[in-house]
Amino acid sequence: LRVTRTFVPLLAKSKAPRVINVSSGGGQLTGGADGWAPAYCISKTALNGVTSQLATALPKFAINSVCPGWVRTEMGGQGATRSVEEGADTIVWLASEAPQKLTGKFLRDRKEIPW
């Protein structure tokens, strides 16, 4: 939130300001996150809520959160089901090509998902 607030004046100079928050399926209230660390899940649920609030407060911005999925990174490990490219796809799309009117959403694979 502090980073976003710090950059809002600079982003506001853009014709199409965008903020993309990296969340997780663990932040979904509608899905099961059995076995996940509660603090991690709660922090991602909070991030999704902040995303929604910021989208309302900054209507000229496209502000969304993204679940990249289980990605083969240092955190995800080699057993993860997605490549880095697959995990980054929706993030890059939101930052560069997605409609500016798409805001306040939680997405995976370029589609809105419930949180």
Kindly list the catalytic residues.
40
Distance CA 7, CA 74 (A): 28
SS3 107: strand
Mapping DSSP onto H, E and C, the string for 40-70 reads HHHHHHHHHHHHHHHHHHCCCCEEEEECCCC
